[in-house]
Amino acid sequence: MNTKITAGIDIGSITAKAVVMEGDKILGARVQFTGYTAKKAGRDVFDGMLGEIGMPPDRVECIVSTGYGRNSIDFADKAVTEITCHGAGAWFVNPEVRFVVDVGGQDSKVIRLDDSGKVVDFAMNDKCAAGTGRFLEVMARALEVDLDDFGELSLAGIPAKISSICTVFAESEVISLIARGETRENIIAGIHESAASRISAMARRVGLVLPVMMTGGVAKNKGMLAALEKKLDAPIQVSEYAQVNGALGAAILAARM
């Protein structure tokens, strides 16, 4: 593989990610909150990562940006959709992967790959926050639970019935369940089951193929992972680079340019 130094920058609605690679070796990765301005977040996360690994900006030969704020990164050589980047990142981590479930802050995506890692088909939930990191954040706030504890608490519960897929209506259902005395564990398990149902429906429309990998920040949530595995009736891989997978894919695509 080409050993030039490349970078990928993924500007999501909640977090900005950056990855620097030399050939097929990852030199550094960084995650920080996007904040108000996507353009500033891109520059900050890129400069911050270079500072961490002690690399001057002129050493980076090619930069690809992705995510909802990709066109704001004016110092990138090219902007590429997150669908393509997430597919490339997952396939780099494990070339056996044929299906990617990416659950981000404001949207969720399912991506089917061919034997060469190219995207064959995909579906995206980008009109509603249901089943996303924002959805889980709203629910955690309603339950007065730290989001970091959400996954573990979910594993201890029996899913309470939550029928609404809309974040606003689901929050009302959660408040009603609290009023009826339902346990936090059962409510949180129900929240994860509801989100997993929406994502699994997208997966089946696209055509689920094994092996499956989950990417995005929500991949760190054990309760969500368990709920998705149950709905898809399949094991799901999660790599150590799950949260920066889009930026990783962008850096890989930069190496091919």
| Domains recognised in the chain with CATH numbers | 1-94+240-257 (3.30.420.40), 96-238 (3.30.420.40)
Out of 73-77, 129-133, 218-222, least confident range: 129-133
Q: Tens digits of per-residue pLDDT, 228-254? A: 999 999 999 999 999 999 999 999 999
> For residue 112, what pLDDT is reported?
98
- Taking the model in full, what pTM does it have? 0.92
**Measuring CA to CA, which residue among 137, 134, 133 is closest to residue 145?**
137
DSSP state of 208: -
DSSP code string of 61-75: -EEEEEETTGGG-TT
The fraction of the chain above a pLDDT of 70, given in percent, is 95
Q: Tens digits of per-residue pLDDT, 198-226? A: 899 999 999 999 999 999 989 999 999 99
